[in-house]
Amino acid sequence: MFAFISGGEIVIVLLAVLMLFGSKSIPDVARMLGKGMNEFRRATDELKREFREGAQGLDEEVTKVKRSINEEVKTIKKGVTEDLDTDEKSIVNNERETSIDAYASEESKPSVTHPNDLRSSGAVSRGDQIHD
């Protein structure tokens, strides 16, 4: 308890107390000192108890806020996931529409063949010679 006081210092303090109060009053001084320390301990214990009770109420409040934040995070994650899924679906649909439009536009274009292609396929009769 008195780690900061060495043995020699304790002897000096005891001698000073003997000289100030006398040998007859030392038990009364020790009793008063003991009562004072006991009251100090009680006050300290009371403060600790009040602090724990206050901290417990605060702990419950922190737990409520933590739950609320976790629920909000879950809601936000769910919304972001749904938005991403919707965006992916729209991208896939847009790609499909684009490929369908491209295919339809290829089909609607008139096909132009080179005259040499016509000769080799036999689409042009021998009498209809095409000269380049």
What residues does each domain of the chain span?
8-105
Q: What is the pTM of this model?
A: 0.36
**Do residues 18 and 26 lie in contact, with contact meaning Cβ atoms separated by under 8 Å?**
yes
Confidence of residue 40 (pLDDT cuts 50, 70, 90): very high
Query: pLDDT tens digits, residue range 76-121?
Result: 888 888 877 776 777 766 666 666 555 555 555 555 555 555 555 5
The single-letter code of the amino acid at 36 is G
Average pLDDT of the residues of the chain: 75
What is the C-alpha separation between 62 and 107, in angstroms, rounded?
Answer: 67
**Do residues 26 and 17 lie in contact, with contact meaning Cβ atoms separated by under 8 Å?**
yes
Length of the chain: 132
